[in-house]
Amino acid sequence: MTTPDSMALGNDARDMALTDSASNRRNVLDLDDFSAEEIFSVLDDTGAMVEVLGRDIKKVPTLRGRVVVTMFYESSTRTRISFEEAGKVLSADVINMSSSGSSVDKGESLLNTGLTLQAMGVDVVVVRHPHAGAPYLLARHLPKVSVINAGDGLHAHPTQALLDMYTMREKLGSLSGARVVIVGDVLHSRVARSNLWGLTKVGAQVILSGPTTLMPLDLLGGRGELEEDHPFAQVDVDTDLDRAIQGADVVMALRLQSERQHSGFLPSLREYIRRWQVTEERLGKANPGALVMHPGPMNEGVEISTSLAHGDSSVIEAQVTNGVAVRMALLYRLCAGQGNRIGDDP
Amino acid sequence: MAPNSNERPERQIMDAQEIQRSLSRIAHEILERNRGVGRLVLVGIHTRGVILSQRLAENIRRFEGSQPPLAELDINLYRDDLQARENPRVRPTKFPVDVRGKRVVLVDDVLFTGRTIRAALDALSDLGRPRQVQLAILVDRGHRELPIRADYVGKNVPTSLDEEVKVRLTETDQAEDVIIVKLGREVK
């Protein structure tokens, strides 16, 4: 089941179906073309991968002979290493391609790089790119390669959203009806955007909070641009965090990039901290046992207090651990079922 | 279904009682061969092998007074035909005991090409070095492609390659029997 309205939140990168069907997925570009059922099946597979990661010898032969290339045109620690570890635990050969020092910012050279990789017989390309839509360009033009979006511009970061949802489901038991408050710079957050797709599909209740200037325009006020049956029509925006956080099961703080302050989105950092920092005091208004999450890297003392980031409610480290398992589940899913039937097995 | 066949497309080869008797006999045979439950582990292969292993363990508990530990193995990460499988799911392997030094009895519903068992042996050896591995199977339908045989067999059933053997258990299938289904397709 795909959602036809891909224009929400100002994204115009998608107008095509890049997967044949949910059961035989070739690319992971965003969660908008995932059904709830497929999300749950990825989360179930992730549980099996968590077991592999808990073994003394973390290695299974599943993707032997497959080649995974990570192409990161933007800096990253956890996502890149997480994909690399995921591939290696599954016995794939993982090659990291560095963009530093090269002029790869233009669409054409990205495409040529992709074509080169395809000609070399690469099976999966994991791409992070500062321009929204870059992974879609690769997916459209590389029929023999699976593309995983590891973050494109302000647009999407589907693997992060899946690991967030896995962590929530693991700790809360169920995602349906969970009240998830996402706090901070939602406007510039690809993590928030992919989480919105995923969480609304699985029936969670999402509340966005933060300065009005950092809220997505089409979710504010009268929601003029959204059809009533659009999944995001159920998303609430409440700029008053102290009110939004009441009864929350999950509080997810987003990274506040310092340059936002200089480009007129914030009156001052002090005001932001005072009104929207996730603190122990504010968490007291959430449900008992509420989870504190952060996609990282954190600005401790800005969007989240240091004591909370490392406190008992924080599942931030679990998010990182689960990130490897989610990416294993996705690599497995993309590499399976690609060939012709070569045998019949009970 | 193939209309050119005079056979019924589906025929039963074991009913609920026969399944129960087979499992009861296999439980006795396991106890006899291993002289009790000491160092024994029953390992079910997902999905129906897990159910059968639970039933065998329950039988052993009734006969012997104590029950061997149970484990669950998912072999999808060890398959040799990953590319050919559409939308394969992985379920967690659950191994609550240390496999080292144990007498492991692998349990599955149908033994066919032997490739599933080959994968299970690989999966098992990644968890440690058992002292011995045995294989218990409800239905052996022949057509092995690898040098693998079962130590305990519920029923040997001659089949042709255009047939499918389906083990249906109440826990997963709302039925309790073993049937052979004629597939209406050409065999390579």
Q: Check which CATH number belongs to the domain holding A264 and give it.
A: 3.40.50.1370
User: Which two structure tokens, joined as six digits, stand for B13?
Assistant: 């080869």
Same domain for A271 and A298, yes or no, is yes
End-to-end CA distance of chain B: 17
Where is average pLDDT lowest: A200-214, A290-304, A331-345? A331-345
The residue range of the domain holding A286 is 158-314
What is the reported pLDDT for A10?
A: 34
What pLDDT band is residue A230 in, cutting at 50, 70 and 90? confident
For residue A77, what is the enclosing H or E element?
A: none
Q: Which regions in chain B score pLDDT beneath 70?
A: 1-8, 85-87, 185-188
- The count of structural domains within chain A is 2
Q: Are both A197 and A274 inside the same structural domain?
A: yes
At B87 the pLDDT is: 65
pLDDT score recorded for residue A179: 98
The owner of tokens 């620690």 is A77
pLDDT of A7 strictly over 70 = no
B83 closest CB neighbour out of A41, A49, A338: A338
Spell out the alpha helix ranges (H) of chain A.
36-53, 78-89, 107-119, 134-141, 158-172, 190-201, 241-244, 259-262, 269-276, 280-283, 306-309, 316-335
Nearest-CA neighbor of B121 among B137, B111, B134?
Answer: B134
Contact by Cβ (8 Å): B124, B140: no
A71 and A181 inside one domain: no
Q: Which two tokens stand for residue B166?
A: 């389906």
If asked whether residues A125 and A37 sit together in one domain, one would say yes
- Is there a contact between A24 and B86 if contact means CB atoms under 8 Å apart? yes
- A229 with A276, same domain: the answer is yes
Whether the per-residue pLDDT at A226 is higher than 80: the answer is no
Is the residue at A14 inside a domain?
no
Q: Tell me which residues of chain A have a C-beta less than 8 Å from any C-beta of chain B.
A: 23-24, 41, 44-45, 47-52, 55, 57, 59-63, 90, 329, 332-333, 335-346
To the nearest whole Å, the CA of B67 is away from the closest chain A CA by 25
Element (H, E) at B115: helix B115-127
Is there a contact between B113 and A52 if contact means CB atoms under 8 Å apart?
no
Quote the CA–CA distance of A239 and B80 in Å, as a whole number: 54
User: What are B55-65's pLDDT values in tens digits?
Assistant: 999 999 999 99
Residues A42 and A173 in one domain: no
Residue A277 resides in a domain: yes
- Residue A12 belongs to some domain of the structure: no
Query: Among B109, B111, B175, which Cα is nearest to B143's?
Result: B111
Give the Å distances, CA to CA, from A118 to A68, A134, A147: 11, 16, 11
- How many Å apart are CA A299 and CA A270, to the nearest integer? 14
Q: Predicted confidence band at A267 (pLDDT cuts at 50, 70, 90)?
A: confident
Residue A49 within a domain: yes
CATH number of B15-161: 3.40.50.2020
CB contact under 8 A, B112 and A346: yes
Mean pLDDT of A230-245: 91
Considering chain A, what percentage of its residues have pLDDT values greater than 70? Answer: 86
- What ipTM was reported for this prediction? 0.78
Asked whether residue A260 falls in the same domain as residue A138, the answer is no
Would A57 be classed as within a structural domain? Answer: yes
Q: Are residues A136 and A233 in the same domain?
A: no
Which of the four pLDDT bands, split at 50, 70 and 90, describes residue A346?
A: very low
Task: Identify residue A7 by its one-letter amino acid code.
Answer: M
Task: Please indicate, yes or no, whether residues A114 and A223 belong to a single structural domain of this protein.
Answer: no
Whether the Cβ atoms of residue B91 and residue B50 lie closer than 8 Å to each other: no
Cross-chain Cβ contact A337/B87 below 8 Å: yes
A182 and A309 belong to one structural domain: yes
Is residue A150 located within the same domain as residue A177?
no
Amino acid at A285: K
Shortest Cα distance, chain B CAs vs residue A236, angstroms: 35
Among the listed residues A327, A314, A296, A291, the one whose alpha carbon sits nearest the alpha carbon of residue A163? A327
A142 and A281 belong to one structural domain: no
